[in-house]
Each structure stands twice: as structure tokens, then as C-alpha cells.
Amino acid sequence: MVHGGTNFGFYNGANTGSEESDYKPDLTSYDYDAPIKESGDIDNPKFQALQRVIKKYNASPHPISPSNKQRKAYGSIKMQMTTSLFDLVRMTDPADVITSANPISMESVGQMFGFLLYESSYIAKKSGNTLRIPKVHDRAQVFVSCLSQDVDVGVLRYIGTTERWNNQPISLPTIECTTNTSLFILVENMGRVNYGPYIFDDKGILSSVYLDGQILHGWKMIPIPFHNLNQEPNLTFEMQHTKNRSKKFELTNDVGRKEPALFAGEFSINSEEEIKDTYLSFNGWGKGVAFVNEFNIGRYWPSVGPQCNLYVPAPLLKRGKNTLVVFELESPHLELSLEAVDHQDFTCGSNVSKVNQL
């Protein structure tokens, strides 16, 4: 590969091994140590080595190599949580919600990218329950809730995560509910396999869901596509109060670190001359997707790595106020900051990663 490039939006793709569960989503930065870097830079040993070999065997005149593009560190960007995912879902148009006896795939609800929220209910046992999803593509976060004595407020609890490559049953705790317990499963499409025998890679919950060994029926599918690069995004995530909104959710103390939420921030650029390439550092964040000026710059997952920073090309920026919106899946804090830095960083995460690092 000559030019590294970037998998902007949800177009990162994925690889598999000999089995479908051996799933490896690609990074947003499709650099792979290419001689022409993600940003177009060529001042590096690999490019220079290729240039020397070509010159050795080709006597034709060679063009002067351009210098690297200028980059700028815009500094710290304060981020604030604007709304939780589940409050946002409560404002979803009922016409967009799909109902079915069993869960259906993202494609079956007309959604090709992003996230799909599955909702059902069950009667909780005093001894707890066991949830099993035999086939999920690609990563599912499980939450439960029930109405408290205040009928307008529900308590939302994060229970656990099950993944395509590590599909394990989830124990549901004992919950004292006056009505049936609500079950929410947020499934992320982490990128489709783009070659080989598993290229037809449907997303979402692709099997029945089992509660204590019995099939759980009665599902709602709530699309959360955000927007791919072929659509005009509408990322205004301010809370809107509606008459039809019957209840809201509150988080328990240990859940606030795991509930998906939207964060927003902004930074200013004073002049056209100051508009340069930059990188957003996600050290300290959990997992999610980021948008700069309503453009999806890709996914971050620093705890898995190896990518720490997302590339932001200068043409996405503008003089004056620039907006940043982050959909954070694990909400480690209610207030965070991001750093706009002037360099790549591939030092994040664990040594053993499911993210493709070829």
C-alpha cells in the first residue's frame, strides 16, 4: 500500500480468520506504516528508501518531493455531556420503531451503519436471570431498568457486554420491579468483513435471545444510525422537551460510567492561516465515534488500541467556532476534555487486541 489514508465514518471494514467469530475490525487510520502517510506526509525512512531504489534503476528525471503538511495543536477542548442515549431514544418518532416477535437485523430495519437498540421486557426472578445471545454482530451492551415509586423516573443499570469474538452469557441481577423489567441491548456495527467466505456480514442480533434457556419474545428495534458519509448529518443533540415523553431515566452511581451519552465541545480558530491538520487525542476516553463540524471522523477505542488519536484534515475546519460531538459508549465521566495535538499516536491499548494491526 502506497498511501495510508483514513477510514472516515463507519467505513473501516473488518477481517476474519478461519471462523466467523474470529472477527477483527480495522482501525479508522488505514495507515499500516505506508510510505505516504495518512496526512499525505512523505518525510519518513520508508518513502526515502523506495525513492533511492527507484532512482537507482530509473534514470528519468524525478520530481522534487513536497514537504510535509503543517499541523497545529489547538490545545484542550472542554467536553460536556449533553444528553444520555436513552433520553435521546425517548424522543424517537414512534413511526421509526420496528416491532417483531424476535429480534431482526440492522439490514432488515433498513439501517446499514451505526447502532441499533433492541428493547424487550421480562419477569425478573429473585435468584436472578441468565441472558444468552448466540449470535450478535458485533458488540452488544446490556442494560435493564424498571419504574421506581416515582412513576416518572426509571433507574437504568448497565449489566455487561457480549461480543462477537467473546460471546458469553450475561447474568442479570435481582431487581425489585413493580412491573416487568425492561431489557435494552445496544448493538454496534463495528465494520463489515470485506473479503472471503464471510463477506455477507449482516449486523445486529442475528439469532433468538434466550432468558434462562427460553426464547424471549416481543421486541422493539430502535434505529440509531447517526449518519454515513453519503447523507447530510443533523447532529444537534440538545435536549428537547416533548409532550409525549412519559418518563426519563436516572443512573445509579456505578452505572454512570457505562451509559452511552453524547458529549459536545467547541474550539475557535482565529484566522484562515491558522487552519491546519490536527489530531484529536482520546486518551482517557472509553469507546465511541467523533464528529467534527458534523463530519464523522471515525471510531476510537484507546483501551484496546493501538490508535490513540483521530486525524482531522484541515479542510474539515473553518475560521471561527468549530464544533466537536462525541458519542461515548461507556461515559467514564460526566465532564471530560479532549486534546487537539499535532501528531499521530499508535501506542494505546493492550498487547492482545481484536483490532486489526497488520
Which of the 8 DSSP states describes residue 117?
A: E
Please say whether the beta carbons of 76 and 339 come within 8 A. Answer: yes
pLDDT tens profile 118-132: 999 998 888 889 999
Do the domain assignments include residue 348? Answer: no
Q: In which domain, by residue range, is 178 found? A: 85-251
Do the domain assignments include residue 272? Answer: no
Do the domain assignments include residue 338? Answer: no
Please say whether the beta carbons of 299 and 346 come within 8 A. Answer: no
pLDDT tens profile 216-234: 999 999 988 776 444 444 5
Say how far apart CA 184 and CA 214 lie, in whole Å. Answer: 18
Q: Taking all residues of the chain, what is their mean pLDDT, rounded to a whole number? A: 84
> DSSP assignment of 188-257, as one string?
E----B-SSTT-S---EE-S--EETTEE---EEEEEE----TTS-----------TT---EEEE-TTTTT
CATH of the domain at 129: 2.60.120.260
Phi, psi of 20 (to 5 degrees): -65, -30
Give the pTM.
0.86
Strands (E) in 1-60, as ranges, are: 14-16, 23-25
Do the domain assignments include residue 23? Answer: no
Alpha helices by DSSP H, the chain: 45-57, 85-89
Q: What is the pLDDT of residue 329?
A: 93
Q: Which residues are within 8 A (CB) of 103 and not within 5 positions of it... i.e. 6 or more apart?
A: 118, 204, 205, 207, 208, 209, 219, 221
Q: Which residues are within 8 A (CB) of 141 and not within 5 positions of it... i.e. 6 or more apart?
A: 158, 160, 161, 185, 186, 258, 260, 329
Say how far apart CA 109 and CA 123 lie, in whole Å. Answer: 27
pLDDT tens profile 244-265: 334 454 544 344 457 898 899 9
- Is the pLDDT at 340 greater than 80? The verdict is yes
- From the list 247, 87, 86, 84, the residue with the least C-alpha distance to 152 is 247
Do the domain assignments include residue 240? Answer: yes
Please say whether the beta carbons of 23 and 166 come within 8 A. Answer: no
Q: What is the pLDDT of residue 159?
A: 92
Alpha helices by DSSP H, 78-141: 85-89
Give the count of domains, the chain.
Answer: 1
**324 vs 232 pLDDT, higher one:** 324
